Structure 1
Amino acid sequence: MTRQEFIRKLQEALNGKLDAATIQDHLKFYDDYIIEEMRKGKSEQEVLELLGDPWAIAKTIVDASDGTDEEVVYENRSPFNNSYNQTTQAQNSYTGYGQKDEYGTEHSYGSYHEFRLDTWWKKALLILAVVFVVVVVVSVITGIISFLAPVLVPLLIIMIVIRLIGGNRRY
């Protein structure tokens, strides 16, 4: 299979399931990815084998786009551990490598993640995490105080007694 065949099959699999602009974005991403990997020295066939079946990729894209979170956008095989790498689309946090095309659109080959508080369970999870952190911090501070109190309280009492007995003498 060639790069053009891969892109054509991906387009066929996506047609009718996503809007035209989204399909073009995905096609451009994979076309750019294949070209970039070939620039790094891999053959076209190697890159296409690493990506896998365009129909499976299309199914992943469609499945991800009809969810409420719309986090997972691209999924491809990693050449290192033969597992799936997920590239998520976001505007807030970005890590990875990318390049801009002539329109200024960023196409990344790294990873993105955006955490949105758009569902009740995410809000509840965030509140639970904040409460957990506060409880842990209070527990640690209480533990430190209870550990040091047997030493610090007598020391503080001795210092106060010395000040009272010593008065306001200046040397």
Structure 2
Amino acid sequence: MTKNEFMIKLQEALENDLDASAVRDNVNYYSNYIDDEIRKGRSEEEVLDELGDPWVIAQSVIDMSAQKNVTEDYGGSYRSAGRSSERQESSYNVHSYTIGSWWQKLLLILGIIGIVLIVVAVIGGIISLVMPIVIPVLVVILLVNFIRRLKE
């Protein structure tokens, strides 16, 4: 995918849910980011691979804009839509982790069920190994206590 294809897909995905100025701001932000990274010596393909799917980025932006437009930072200062007003000259790392589609949710649920089953199987295995020893010991202890009571 080229930068132009990426930007078109991002713009199309954002246009359905955001106003024109927010779309323009985000498209410009990612365009500038890609240009900055290319100027640093990285290839366009490498930068676009790092960013990932433009539809996922758009969904993240839309989700963030659905929350409050102004969020409070830990230091007590405010920033708009999760971005500071000053341009930073550092490298950016964009990571998007969303569980959006039905198969991803199903996979997560099946993974949780699998982990629970493994835990139950391990506990059951431990119990099956320990019980042949514990039950006879308990029977002997109970018999000794019973015999002591009879002698008293």
> TM-score, normalised on structure 1?
0.44
Greater helix share, structure number: 2
Greater length-normalized contact order (CA 8 Å, ≥ 6 residues apart):
2
> TM-score, normalised on structure 2?
0.49
